[in-house]
Structure 1
Amino acid sequence: MKIPPFRERTVLVTGASSGIGRAAARAFAAAGANVVLAARRESALQDAAREVEALGVRALPVPCDVTRAEDVERLLRETDAAFGGLDLLVNNAGIGLYGPLEAISEAQLREVFEVNVFALWRVTRAALPLLRRRKGAQVMNVSSVLGHRGLPLLGGYCASKAAVNAMTESLRTELASEGIRVLLVSPGLTESEFREHRRNAEGWAQDAIPLRAMPAEAVAQAMLRAALRGRRDTVLTLPGRAMVLANRFVPGLFDLVARRTANPRKKSS
C-alpha cells in the first residue's frame, strides 16, 4: 500500500471555511495530513472540518479572526496542545478590494492590508516556534497573479499582494539556515466566494470577468504539489502566467493591454 505523502504531518490552513482554503484542507487531508482549520465563520468551519475528518484524519477547527492577536495566539496554543508542532502553515486568508485608488477609502485600504499582510505576518510569527520543531517544515503564502502586476481598479488589492510577495522573499532567506522552506502560490481567477466578500469603493462594482475561472480544487492540488516538491514559486492559470511574463518582458505593451481591461468612468448603478 502506498504511504500518503503527508501522513502524520500537521497542516494549518487559514481562511479554511470556503474557497481555496477549504479545498486545500481537503487536499492535504487526502494526502494524509491532520489539518487545523482556522476561519471566522464557525458554522462553515465546522462543515469543512467534517469534510476533512471524513477522509480519515484528524481535524481541529478553530474559530479565529486572524486580525486579532488574541485569536491567533489561541489558534497556535490549540494547535500545539493537539499536535505538538506544525509541519506546514498555509497563509490563505485574504479579502479583495475593487475601485480606483482615488475612490477607495483609507479604511478599506487599511482593512485589506490588515487581513492580507499584517495577519499573514502575525500568524507566521506565532507559528514559527511550532514549525521549528519539525524537520522540513514549510510556510506557504497564498498571493495572487495580481501581486506580480498592478491592474486598473484593483490597485489596493494588488499592492497588498505585492507586499505578500516581498515578505515571502525576505522570510525565505531569513529561515533558510533553519531548514524551513517558504513557498509562494499565486492563483489567477478562481471559482470561490472571493468576489462576494470583496470590498468595493462606493459606487463601484465589477462586471463578470470574461475568463474561465480555475476550480478551487485545482488550485488546492497545485498547492499540494508545490509543498511536496518544495517549489518556491507557483503561478497559476494560463492567463495569469501570460500576464506575469508579458509584464516582465514587455511592460510598456502590457500597460496598453491593462488600460483596456477597465473603464474608469464606469460606475455601478
Structure 2
Amino acid sequence: MATRDFQEKVVLITGASSGIGRAAAKAYASQGAHLVLAARREPQLQDVAREVEALGVRALPVRCDITQPEDVARLMRETETAFGGLDLLINNAGLGLYGPVEALGEAQLRQVFELNFFSLVRVTQAALPLLRKRAPGSQVVNVSSVLGHRGLPLLGGYGASKAAVNLLTESLRAELAAEGISVLLVSPGLTETEFRDARLNAEGWKQEAIPLDAMSAEAVASAMVRASRRKRRETVLTLPGRVMVLANRLVPGLFDRVARRIQNPAKKAP
C-alpha cells in the first residue's frame, strides 16, 4: 500500500493554477494533504480544486494576486478559518524575463522582482503565524531555479530575482531553525510548462525553441515532495542543472566560456 506521508497536513501553494503549482497540488494530495490553492486565474484554480478533491482531500481555492497585500491578508484569513493553521507553504508563483541586461526595461525588472521576490517575502511573512501553530515540523518551500545559482546570458534579470530568493532562503532557514520550521529550496531546471510562453521579453528580443530536454512539471513536483519528506535543505533538479552548478563552483572561468556558447539559440527579433 502506498504511503501517505502528508496525511491531514495543510499545504498552501501559490501559482497553483498551472505548471509546477498544479502538479505539486496533485502530488501532495496523493500523499493525503489538504490544499489551499492560490492563483489569479479562478477558472483554472477551480479545475485544480476538483482534481485534488477527487483524490479524497479537501481543497480551498482562493483567487489571489500575491502582489496585492490585501489579497494576501485575505488568503491567510481564509486559510485559518478553513484549517486553523498551516503545515507547508510552497512559494511557487513566478515570472520569467528574457533579454540582455542592456535591453531590460526597469519596469520589466520591477515586475519580475515584485512577483518572484517581494511577493514571496510578503506571503511568507503573512503565513508565519499559521506555520507557527503547527511547529515544530512545519515547512516553507521556496521554488527557485538553477539560474539563481549561476547566471546565463540573456537570463540575468530573471536569474537575479531567483538569486535573491536563494539568499533570503538561507537567512530565513537560520532564523526559524530554533522554532522547528524547516526552510527548503527547490531549484528546477528547464521545465515543460506555460512559464516560457508567459515570460516577459526585452524589447526586440525573443527566444526561439532551444535544443534541450525539459523535465515535466510532474517530475518537479515529485522531487519537491521527496524534499519535503526528507527535509532536504536544497534540491537542484536535472542533471544538466546540477552539472552547471557544480562546474560554476569548481571551474567558474571555464564555465564562463561555456555560458557564452549557451546563448547561441537566441536571436534579436527583426
Whether the TM-score (by the shorter chain) exceeds 0.5 is: yes
Mapping for residues 18-37 of structure 1, pairs under 5 Å: 18-37=18-37
Aligned to 1:233: 234
Aligned to 2:225: 224
How has the CA–CA distance of structure 1 residues 202 and 137 changed in structure 2, closer, same or farther, with 3 Å as cutoff?
same
Three-state SS of the structure 1 residue aligned to 2:227 is helix
* 8 Å Cα contact 2:210/2:265 also seen in 1: no
Letter of the 1:209 counterpart? I
Does residue 178 of the first structure (1) align with residue 143 of the second (2)?
no
Name the stretch that deviates more: 254-263 or 77-86: 254-263
Task: Name the CA distance, whole Å, in 2 between partners of 1:113 and 1:237.
Answer: 25
Task: Name the CA distance, whole Å, in 2 between partners of 1:141 and 1:259.
Answer: 29
1:191-223 deviation line (CA, Å, top 9, x unaligned): 100001000001110111111100100100000
Aligned to 2:108: 108
1:103-146 deviation line (CA, Å, top 9, x unaligned): 11000000000000000000000000000010300000000000
Aligned to 1:207: 208
* 8 Å Cα contact 2:10/2:86 also seen in 1: yes
Task: Name the CA distance, whole Å, in 1 between partners of 2:46 and 2:219.
Answer: 23
Three-state SS of the structure 1 residue aligned to 2:206 is coil
* 8 Å Cα contact 2:64/2:75 also seen in 1: yes
Aligned to 1:12: 12
* 8 Å Cα contact 1:14/1:39 also seen in 2: yes
Aligned length: 269
Aligned to 2:120: 120
Letter of the 1:26 counterpart? K
Identity %: 75
* 8 Å Cα contact 1:14/1:21 also seen in 2: yes
Three-state SS of the structure 1 residue aligned to 2:102 is coil
Task: Name the CA distance, whole Å, in 1 between partners of 2:266 and 2:158.
Answer: 20
Letter of the 2:147 counterpart? L
* 8 Å Cα contact 1:87/1:131 also seen in 2: yes
Three-state SS of the structure 1 residue aligned to 2:23 is helix
Q: So what's the TM-score if we normalise by structure 1? A: 0.98
Task: Name the CA distance, whole Å, in 2 between partners of 1:68 and 1:53.
Answer: 28
Aligned to 2:56: 56
Letter of the 2:262 counterpart? T
Runs of at least 5 residues in structure 1 that lack an aligned partner in the other structure: none
- The CA RMSD over aligned residues, in Å, is 1.2
Letter of the 2:115 counterpart? V
Q: So what's the TM-score if we normalise by structure 2? A: 0.98
**Structure 1 segments of 4+ aligned residues over 6 angstroms from their partners:** none
Letter of the 2:188 counterpart? P
Deviation of the 1:268 alpha carbon: 1.6
Letter of the 1:131 counterpart? L
Letter of the 2:269 counterpart? S
* 8 Å Cα contact 1:138/1:183 also seen in 2: yes
* 8 Å Cα contact 1:142/1:184 also seen in 2: yes
Letter of the 1:85 counterpart? G
How has the CA–CA distance of structure 1 residues 240 and 2 changed in structure 2, closer, same or farther, with 3 Å as cutoff?
closer
Task: Name the CA distance, whole Å, in 1 between partners of 2:94 and 2:38.
Answer: 12
How has the CA–CA distance of structure 1 residues 258 and 48 changed in structure 2, closer, same or farther, with 3 Å as cutoff?
same
Deviation of the 1:266 alpha carbon: 2.9
Does residue 147 of the first structure (1) align with residue 148 of the second (2)?
yes
* 8 Å Cα contact 1:7/1:31 also seen in 2: yes
Runs of at least 5 residues in structure 2 that lack an aligned partner in the other structure: none
Task: Name the CA distance, whole Å, in 2 between partners of 1:139 and 1:189.
Answer: 23
Mapping for residues 156-167 of structure 1, pairs under 5 Å: 156-167=157-168
Task: Name the CA distance, whole Å, in 2 between partners of 1:236 and 1:266.
Answer: 27
Deviation of the 1:4 alpha carbon: 1.4
Deviation of the 1:179 alpha carbon: 0.5
Task: Name the CA distance, whole Å, in 1 between partners of 2:128 and 2:45.
Answer: 24
* 8 Å Cα contact 1:153/1:264 also seen in 2: no
Task: Name the CA distance, whole Å, in 1 between partners of 2:265 and 2:28.
Answer: 41
Aligned to 1:78: 78
